[in-house]
Every structure is written in structure tokens, then in C-alpha cells.
Amino acid sequence: MTDTTANTGAPETILEVDGLNVDFWVDGEFYPAAVDMNYTVRRGEVLAIVGESGSGKSTSSMSLLGLLPENARVTGSIKLLGRELRGVDQATIRSLRGNEIAVIFQEPMTALNPVYTIGFQIVEALRSHDRSLAPSAAKERAIELLSLVEMPNPEQSFHKYPHQLSGGQRQRAMIAQSISCDPLLLIADEPTTALDVTVQAEILDLLRNLHKRLDSAIILITHDMGVVADLADRIMVMKNGIVVEAGSVDEIFHHPTHPYTQQLLASVPHLGLGVLEPIDESAADEVVSETSAVPTIASIREHANTQRVVETREPVLSFEDVAIEYPKRGRIPAFRAAEHIDLQIYPGEIMGLVGESGSGKTTIGRAAIGLIPIAEGKLTTVGTDISHATQKDLFAIRRRTGIVFQDPASSLNPRMPIGQSIGEPILLAGEAKGKDLDRKVEDLLDQVELPRSYRNRFPHELSGGQRQRVGIARALALAPELLVADEPTSALDVSVQARFLDLLQELQQELQFACLFISHDLAVVDILAHRISVMHLGKLVETGTRDEILRGAKDPYTQRLIAAVPVPDPEAQRERREARAALLGRSAS
């Protein structure tokens, strides 16, 4: 899959990878993680490597810098500006890291040292590659870099620790450290996965501007096709360690040839499918490759459209002028996380709740099922007023409500087989035991499309998507009238996410429970929800049907949120980016 451009006027080749193989030694044999990769990256070019989790994207890129564990074996050729990197000694590799090839890691909280200020960490990167640099000059340069990545108050931020910064600010600090030595090649490993859509748009703008200013090459590792459309020049698609397709952005987006690439593109949520852009009536309901079938986002959206909610009955969940606050703890003062909340969800309805991190979405979701007390107002859940409920009152409503948490790995007991985790609520409620309980657990596994044999597996033996299905099965164990889904797809790949959304929608139509679907991804909420509520700084700023919010958003914050969602189409994304810049310019003036 090598780029064979022979034009002498082409920019110089920064990186040349030929026949790269990465294997891991596990239980007495080698398992391949990347197989026979060939590619080049030129100066000023952005190469995107896309694929689902476990496809070998990060592994193959980390092998360039020797950042793999001891049980890894790397073969093939890796050349930086014509110089062979594979097989060189550790001192040479250390001098290259950060100086000529730098990495922006996926999770800045774990990549930054928690006991040092971010200023110290940037200065350390500068001085370890240039011993002659005086501490005062290094500090000046570090503050300049923080200004370059548009960090608010660079002089103050220099003295802050990672935990004192928001997710977007930590990612900016990480980028500042990465570009501190003007590297030839920047490896961006899922740089926006954990970020809100508005922060993501800012980080993408920043990477684009830096890339133009520094003229460095970028390898962008991601599973978000909207991000790829926004930044990349060329794309490599990986599956199970093999490059299945490579080409320019236009070729891959408009004329994909491999079934897996077609599946990946069909799984990407488009904001406003059927409202802001037309639906292709002739398209199939699912895209099939050799190993799997994935429902298309258009078909999931269409099924959601067929259902209408009757609002004449009593709401399953009702907030009336509710305020929620976290009490004072030690020196930390009381904090009001949400106020003046008025929200109703009716039987059989999916209500989408969107907003960025810290807006109070999860607080509302947890208060809805009595996990957090409310300070003011009236909260009614499944017909019971729980505004001042005792633990005994809450026990009664918990049998009729369920919650799917954001991170299934930390919400499942690692010492319990998943069959036991799913059956526990049924057993505690006294609904079934023995053979009856086994049968119910098997039925729930069937409902979430997991093999019955998985009941004896532990959570760590399942993939992220499978663990999330276990979370749904457990939440649905007692046939709840209300399900709270708290960011259930944020950690999933697009194809896994498409299957998950299809499943959730089928179950909801079959069992007719009401659902509060919390997300910061407006495109995902748009696929499922009948109505959408938008939260900003602890207040509901707008509520309406999907069409009202997407076509006629009245609140400036909702307009900014919609403008920030990347679209998986290079030309459309370019237009959206310009429109967003104009919108931000208007709101600033």
C-alpha cells in the first residue's frame, strides 16, 4: 500500500515504512498485531489510520518509537529521512523521541505526570534535548508554547498540575509538550476521543493551524470518521492487523472498495440524517463483510421515526423546578450542579440529554433514580415522589428503574462471572432462583445478542461492546419502566456503536420502557431520541423534538453545539468548518 508518487516536485519523504510486522509472544506462541504494513508520509501531510479497537492502529505506530512491551517482536524497515530506525541502540531512540518524532497520547491524564506541574514537564522536554538551554529561557519558551496551543492564562497554567485542568486543557498541554522541539513527525493517537464535541472542534482547529505553521507530517490514529474528514489528506483502513484499503480522503469517502470500509462508513452517525441531509432510499439496511453484518445508521434512524409517543398518560419521570447540589466537604464548598430543571419523559419515549462535560447531565441521570438527593423542587419517578425519599422508598422504585453506566468495566464486579452479575438483581428482588434464575439469565443474554456460553466468563474476557451489552442486560433484568443510559456509547468504536444503538432501539420498542439517554454526542442522540434537551452550565437551555432542535435551534449554545459536530464527508466538513468560524466570530463580536 505504498504511496508511489514519482513526481520530483513532491515534498520530501519524512517516514518510509516497508514490510512492518508486529507480533506479541503470549502463552508460548506469537500473535500478529500488524501484518506487512507499507506506507510513506511526506512533509506537511496528514495520514489517518482508521479501524476499530484491536485492529493494530496504535500498536503499529508505537513500534516506530520502540514504545512496545518486552514481549513484542518488530520486523521490517522503518526509515526517518532515509535513516533506518529499526535495530538502533536505546540512546539513539531516546534522542529521537520528542525531538524528531513526538506522540500526542489518547489519555493525557495518564500520559502526564500527576506530581509535576505542566510547566515543569514542558521545560523538562525542552532541556533534555537541548542541554545548553537556560532554565529561564526554557520557561519563556514553555509559556510561548502554551500560548500557541491557546491555553487560557498561559502564565498561570504553567504552574498548574494536570488534575487542575479540564480534559481539553490537559490535551492542549500534552500537544504543547509534543511540539516543543518542532518534531518532523507527530503521531496523534486518538487525540479527541474523550473530548466534548465543542472542545474537539477547538483541538482539531489547533492541530490544523499548527500543522500548517510547522509544516510537519502527522499520523492521525482514530476511529472517528468525522475527525478524518476534517484533517486528513490520505487514509489507511486497518482490520485485524492488516491494511485492507488505502487512498486519498476523496477516494475512501466517495469510492470505498473493501466491504469493511463500506461497513465503517455506513456505521458513522450523521447529524440530521433525513432532516439536514437526504436519506438514500435505495441503500441496504445493513452492510455485510466476510466476518460481520452491521446495521446502517440510516436504517436505525428510520426505525426510530416510525414510532410516535402518546403524551396523554402520566409521565414516567418528572422534574419540576428541581435544583441539585453537592454538599460541603471539608474545605470544598457546597456546589450547585443543576437548577430550575423542568423535564418530563413519557412511557415508550427516548429523551436525549446533551451538553458538554460538567454541564450537569450525569447529575440529572443519577438524581432521576435516587442516587443523588435533590435540594429543591419536586421529582417524581415511576409514579413515586422521591423529592425527600427515605432509603426504604428508594428500594421500591429501584426495582422499576435501571441504569447503564458510562464505563462498563468499572461498573461490573471483576470477581463475578457475567451470568451472576446479570442474575443478581433478580435474585435480590426475590423474582427467581435456581433453574428459573438460570433460564432468565439465558433469556437476557439472548435479548442482548450474546452467546449463552458467555455467562461463565469474567468481565475482563469480554470486549468493550460486549461488556456494555452485559450492562444493558443487567439494567433490563427486572423489566424497568425507566432506563437511564449514561454515555453508553462514548467508549465504543463506530461499528460496535451502530450494533449497540440498533439493539437498544429494538429492546425499547419491544419492552416500551421510557429512556433518558445522556450523551455529549449530538449525532448519536439524533439517531435514537424522540425529543432532545440541551444542558449548559447546570441549566436546561432548550427542549424540543429532533426536528425543532436541529432545524430551528434558538439558543446560541445549541447552535454552537450543532455547528461543532464533524460530518464524515470532506467537502461538507470544509463548509461546516467555515460556517462554524463565522458563527463563533459573530458570537465573539
Same domain, 375 and 486: yes
Beta-bridge mates of residue 485: 404, 517
3 state SS of 5: coil
Same domain, 537 and 518: yes
Chain segment 551-565, per-residue pLDDT in tens: 788 898 888 888 888
pTM above 0.85, yes or no: no
Tell me if 543 is assigned to some domain. Answer: yes
Given a contact cutoff of 8 angstroms between Cβ atoms, the answer to whether 533 and 522 are in contact is no
Same domain, 393 and 510: yes
172 or 484, which is more confident: 484
Which helix (H) or strand (E) is 177 found in, with range?
helix 167-178
Same domain, 495 and 392: yes
Tell me if 59 is assigned to some domain. Answer: no
Chain segment 351-401, per-residue pLDDT in tens: 999 988 778 888 899 999 998 899 999 999 998 898 988 888 888 888 889
Same domain, 384 and 509: yes
pLDDT bin (cut points 50, 70, 90) of residue 99 is confident
Nearest residue to 104 (alpha-carbon basis) of 198, 171, 181: 171
Pairing of strands 72-80, 46-50: unpaired
The pLDDT value recorded for residue 303 is 57
Same domain, 318 and 435: no
Tell me if 379 is assigned to some domain. Answer: yes
**Cβ neighbours for 554, distance < 8 A, ≥ 6 positions apart:** 542
Q: What percent of the chain has pLDDT over 70?
A: 90
CATH code of the domain containing 356: 3.40.50.300
Tell me if 432 is assigned to some domain. Answer: yes
3 state SS of 562: helix
Average pLDDT over residues 509-519: 90
Cβ neighbour number for residue 562 with a 10 Å cutoff = 24
The pLDDT value recorded for residue 547 is 83
Same domain, 497 and 548: yes
Tell me if 137 is assigned to some domain. Answer: no
Chain segment 535-553, per-residue pLDDT in tens: 998 999 999 998 888 778 8
Same domain, 329 and 434: no
Same domain, 335 and 345: yes
Same domain, 484 and 470: no
Same domain, 473 and 522: no
Domain containing 454: what range? 417-479
Tell me if 345 is assigned to some domain. Answer: yes
Cβ neighbour number for residue 495 with a 10 Å cutoff = 23
Position of cell 496551543?
A: 149
pLDDT, mean over the chain: 84
Which helix (H) or strand (E) is 6 found in, with range?
none
Same domain, 440 and 335: no
Chain segment 280-293, per-residue pLDDT in tens: 544 455 555 555 55
The pLDDT value recorded for residue 424 is 92
The pLDDT value recorded for residue 388 is 87
3 state SS of 99: coil
Tell me if 19 is assigned to some domain. Answer: no
Q: What percent of the chain has pLDDT over 90?
A: 33
Tell me if 323 is assigned to some domain. Answer: yes
Flag whether pLDDT at 179 surpasses 70.
yes
Average pLDDT over residues 272-284: 48
Flag whether pLDDT at 317 surpasses 90.
yes
**Domains in the chain: how many in total?**
2
Average pLDDT over residues 12-41: 91
